[in-house]
Amino acid sequence: MSDYAKIISPYKDLPGGIIEAYHALQNKYNYIPEDAIAVAADMFDISLSQAYGVATFYSYFKIGPRGRYVIRICESAPCHVAGADDVIAALEKELGISMGETTEDGKFTLEFAECVGQCQGTPVITINSQPYVNVEPEKVGEILAACK
């Protein structure tokens, strides 16, 4: 049994189990390996296109490699009003990449997120799901240093 099958198999008989299996895969690899989607399709007895459909429908799931640290910035209106664009510019400058990209060393990935439920402290970023609130461009270097 492949590593992917070992991760997926505990969920194969659960209603909505493919979603839980994808969560487990993403927790293990920080993304969903493309080969694992074929294994999931086989285990859940669905077509490959249906398995891809589930993996690509939810914005939380990502197919293909991502950085060790996934930095997501909220793109909701309250965050933008509070200065998210300036935080984005600071992140891109500090890391030398644009939104949607991963650093060459595979350490950081920048992504947009929908509201992360921290509107009391806008703008908000998350690093591997850990929220950072009231982020100011001047704080970005310090926040990233904790990851380095």
Give the pLDDT confidence of 39-49 residue by residue, as tens digits. 999 999 999 99
In a domain, 77, yes or no: yes
Could you tell me what percentage of the chain is helix, strand and coil, using 3-state DSSP and rounding each to the nearest 5? 50, 15, 40
In a domain, 81, yes or no: yes
- Any idea what the Cα angle at residue 139 is, between residues 93 and 109, rounded to 5°? 45
| In a shared domain, residues 39 and 77 | no
Q: And the tokens for 29?
A: 């690899």
Residues 91 and 116 grouped into a single domain: yes
Q: What domain range includes position 43?
A: 3-57
Q: What percent of the chain has pLDDT over 70?
A: 99
Shared-domain flag, residues 75 and 48: no
**pLDDT on residue 147:** 87
Asked whether the predicted pLDDT for residue 101 surpasses 90, the reply is yes
Top-ranked range on mean pLDDT: pick from 58-62, 102-106, 111-115: 102-106
Q: Give residue 60's pLDDT band: very low, low, confident or very high (50, 70, 90).
A: confident
pTM summary value: 0.77
pLDDT band at residue 80 under the 50/70/90 scheme: confident
| 49 plus 83 within the same structural domain | no
